[in-house]
Structure 1
Amino acid sequence: MKAQSEMLGTEKISKLLFKLSAPATVGMVVSGLYNIVDTIFVGRALGDASVQGIAAIAVSFPVLMISMAISLAIGLGGASIISRRLGARDLEGAERTFGNIIGMSVALGTLVAILGIVFITPILELFGATPTILPFAKEYLQILLYGSPVFMFSLVANNVARSEGNARVAMLTMVISGVLNIILDPIFIFGLGMGIKGAAIATVISYFSAAIFLVKYFVSGHSTLVFRSRDLKPDLPIIKEVCALGLAPFARNSSMSIVVVFVNNILAIYGGDLPIAVYGIFNRLLVFASMPLIGLLQGMQPIIGFNYGAGNYGRVLETLKLSLWISTAIAVFDFVLLYVMAEILFSAFTTDELLIESGVDATRIMVLAVPLLGIQFISAGMYQALGKALPSFILSMARQTIFLLPLLFLLPLMYDLEGVWLAFPVADALAFVLTSWMLVREYRIIKAESA
């Protein structure tokens, strides 16, 4: 077995966490950046229709999140199994898992594309598209759906590379894809005058670049894992375990889609296109600000999974403690950035003064509990890396579904549009209390096992 997976059990934790998290963070930041750039270019290209264009991306976002939710369920569920089997020196089992999740990603990606294209109009209407937003949203989303199989394959394969400790490949995949998208955006949107359709075409081309890079990596012999066509044959126990472990990331990301749909429809009632555009920009900003947290999480998980599988519980605890400190520092920085720089950030997307003013007011309410997000990210990821599907699922659902959805229904009844924005920090605070209790309990269990 190659050194890239062996180092997970031997190298100094602080050095190892940096080695795995830094490339993941760079990759995630670049990936998040091209989502920001897409929206900025669309807002600038459409001029007087910038509100509708930005809102169109916002109502399309849940569909993309569903594709991402399925991909991360397969990729992170499979990565957890692969990390633990590599830790237990079961290379054959790891490779069989690899083949199964690759097959699942392509099959389900094709299904998403077919269903999405056939039912695109009712889906977008359900997701909050008003009559003025719908034409822009259909033009944008239809092209992205054609790339769904490639997009989902890339996300799954990227998580496999990371699970064996090869964070550099995972980073390069996202950097190549992200940089290419940023280069192609102005060419298609402005140079060829394609507007919002050009943004979608640039994104799909970037999906293909990521897929080609990953295929080359896995067939080149540089991976610990070897891809064999016979491993594509469905293995029911593996599929069941992938689905069980993938339930938490699926719940977390699909619940984000549900929340966006719910918010878009509420905003259509309380304010129409403008607050939908505000929420669309805020969502992009928050996702981008969260990328370092996700990068840290992706660096942490293979270390915890490998060492838990190998019985090195002391290394598991050390990784967890360091990750909690770093994640909290990142979350506090995100809060300061979004609160203080709200006006500058919104001004990058549009020249519409009312959109900017409304966006600043809403953002400064929604980010009030952002400093608490770091612990929530790390705790849910810890349970997943340990192979404990149920608590990971509960924590993944807590913020987005268990607390936020009821608050989104109740608070606007009392505070009108401001109640929508208030629901976010209140839900974050409640989820933090639950997460802290579960984290302390699990930490004590692992510490007892270590002793």
Structure 2
Amino acid sequence: MAVTADELGTQDIKKLLIKQAVPSSIGILFMSVNILIDTIFVGQWIGSLAIAAVTVVLPITFLISSLGMAIGVGGGSVLSRALGSNHKEKALHVFGNQIMMTFLLSSVFVFFGVFFSDEMLLLFGAKGEIMKPAKEFFFPIILSVPFLALCMMGNNIIRAEGKAKFAMIAMIIPAFVNIALDILFIKVMNLGMFGSALASAISYFMCFVFVLWFFVFKSELKLKAKHFEFKIPIVREITELSFVTFSRQGVVSILAIIINHTLYTYGGEHSVVIYGIISRMLMFALFPILGITQGFLPIAGFNYGAMNYERVKESVQLSIKYAAFLATLIFVVILIFARPIVAIFTTDSLVIAQTPEALRWVFAASPIISIQLIGAAYFQAAGKAKKALLLTLSKQGFFLIPLVLILPNFLGIFGVWIAFPIADILSTILTGYFLKKEMNTKLIQTTDGIL
């Protein structure tokens, strides 16, 4: 399934998309299945409030660990260019600085998380009966976050080295470990929320062990003590490129805070449980669309750099077409099987009764989201950082957060659910406008050359 640089510029776009999208989809699938099954286990074996607790805690851990992802993505770009220009020593300093930045920053956040746990949990929506299971789940998870952050950072560096197979394995390992330990700790040993958190913490550590093994035995990046010394220009370069990724996760975390508080205000603990199920389905059901988006990036980026704009346009059009087809198929499945899907997660009759309608509304505009996702990805591939950031943050930051703050005042809980398709539609219109303008002005190629 490997693709050479020359093939990105010459091979049939359809074949390229399949070769690039399948490995990405597999990695996202395993990550999503892990979270999905974890939610099913806690819902069925512990109770519906356990889903609410997980819904509150995970945005905290993902926010902290996303430091590792951001440093990995930003530093990976610097590292790749250093390797490409044969500056091996700079690449080693970049990697060493990434490790130190990830470990130190995540450890600082963990310190504050441990000593201000009640305040942090309340901020993210752990109110009423949700607080007790949330605290049980929080402490083992928060202590393992530096390992998760280092894994997320390391995974991006593995990809930057061109070792996609090992990067995929790194995503698969914690899924299998977590599922197996969930069964042992929750079902067999009856450890409840603590058992669920312990399973996740150990799975993060095992992922870290694999990543460490890779860099010790398989990587071309052999570090020495001097490479861990901070270099201000390198730190600055990594930080600047990491900002977009961390900003995106920051907006997602702010959205989680607002939604959890709004749902509790208008519907109590059960509404937070409902959103917990829906958010897991959003992560799981859309994995093939996200896989196409990731597969599209290197194709569009290479051909844009080669000024082969006709191939860029073809890759945009085909990616949107394929992703729209899959998204429509997913929506139809959700529309028809919403109730059986919800019943997998919990036996709570109230949750089962109220969640299907909410799930259908949240997914209502999913057939058109391919335009938003591929459009934002195109501007990233073309190196247009400002537009990429604008369009990436448009749904959550510019539309969904204001809608969630406004609509429930008039529509109650329904206002939260209807905010999702409205935000999808508005962000798609915005992205579609910029993308169409780009296609009609920037990506024009004639027999006389490129205009």
Q: Same fold (TM over 0.5)?
A: yes
Structure 2 match to 1:188? 185
Paired positions, count: 445
- 1:139-180 C-alpha deviation (Å, 9 max, x unpaired): 101111111111011111112222343321121111111111
Alpha-carbon distance change, 222 to 124 in structure 1, aligned in 2, over 3 angstroms:
closer
Structure 1 match to 2:240? 244
1:357 to 353, 375, 380: 353
1:65 offset after TM fit, Å?
A: 2.8
* 1:204 and 2:201 correspond: yes
CA contact (8 A) 2:9 2:302 kept: no
* 1:118 and 2:147 correspond: no
* 1:157 and 2:136 correspond: no
SS in 1 for 2:128: coil
Q: Which amino acid aligns with 2:331?
A: F
**Structure 2: distance between partners of 1:437 and 1:158:** 34
* 1:216 and 2:206 correspond: no
CA contact (8 A) 1:247 1:393 kept: no
CA contact (8 A) 1:403 1:430 kept: yes
1:29 offset after TM fit, Å?
A: 0.8
**Structure 1: distance between partners of 2:186 and 2:286:** 27
Structure 1 match to 2:286? 290
The 5 A counterparts of 1:27-176 are 27-46=27-46, 50-84=47-81, 93-176=90-173
Alpha-carbon distance change, 88 to 306 in structure 1, aligned in 2, over 3 angstroms:
farther
- 1:240-285 C-alpha deviation (Å, 9 max, x unpaired): 3433333332222221111111011111111100111000110011
**Structure 2: distance between partners of 1:409 and 1:434:** 21
**Structure 1: distance between partners of 2:114 and 2:279:** 24
Percent identity, please.
36
- 1:365-407 C-alpha deviation (Å, 9 max, x unpaired): 1111112222322333333344332212111221001111111
CA contact (8 A) 1:23 1:170 kept: no
**Structure 1: distance between partners of 2:309 and 2:156:** 23
Which region of structure 1 is more displaced relative to structure 2, 246-255 or 195-204?
246-255
Which region of structure 1 is more displaced relative to structure 2, 324-333 or 271-280?
324-333
Q: Which amino acid aligns with 1:397?
A: L
Structure 2 match to 1:366? 362
Unaligned stretches of 5+ residues in structure 1: none
Structure 2 match to 1:257? 253
CA contact (8 A) 1:252 1:397 kept: yes
1:126 offset after TM fit, Å?
A: 1.4
Alpha-carbon distance change, 78 to 377 in structure 1, aligned in 2, over 3 angstroms:
farther
Alpha-carbon distance change, 240 to 324 in structure 1, aligned in 2, over 3 angstroms:
farther
Alpha-carbon distance change, 415 to 179 in structure 1, aligned in 2, over 3 angstroms:
same
CA contact (8 A) 1:181 1:202 kept: yes
1:113 offset after TM fit, Å?
A: 1.5
Unaligned stretches of 5+ residues in structure 2: none
Which region of structure 1 is more displaced relative to structure 2, 348-357 or 286-295?
286-295
**Structure 2: distance between partners of 1:173 and 1:32:** 14
Q: Which amino acid aligns with 2:115?
A: V
1:307 offset after TM fit, Å?
A: 5.5
Structure 1 match to 2:275? 279
**Structure 2: distance between partners of 1:22 and 1:447:** 30
User: TM-score, normalised on structure 1?
Assistant: 0.90
The 5 A counterparts of 1:338-357 are 338-357=334-353
RMSD, aligned α-carbons: 2.6
Alpha-carbon distance change, 310 to 104 in structure 1, aligned in 2, over 3 angstroms:
farther
Alpha-carbon distance change, 126 to 302 in structure 1, aligned in 2, over 3 angstroms:
same
CA contact (8 A) 1:8 1:165 kept: no
Alpha-carbon distance change, 220 to 35 in structure 1, aligned in 2, over 3 angstroms:
same
- 1:276-316 C-alpha deviation (Å, 9 max, x unpaired): 10001100111112222333333333444556566666665
**Structure 1: distance between partners of 2:8 and 2:226:** 30
**Structure 2: distance between partners of 1:309 and 1:216:** 35
- 1:329-386 C-alpha deviation (Å, 9 max, x unpaired): 3322332232222111110111111101110111111111112222322333333344
Alpha-carbon distance change, 326 to 241 in structure 1, aligned in 2, over 3 angstroms:
farther
1:100 offset after TM fit, Å?
A: 2.9
- 1:20-42 C-alpha deviation (Å, 9 max, x unpaired): 33122112111111111111111
- 1:88-144 C-alpha deviation (Å, 9 max, x unpaired): 665555444333323322222212221111111111111111121101001101111
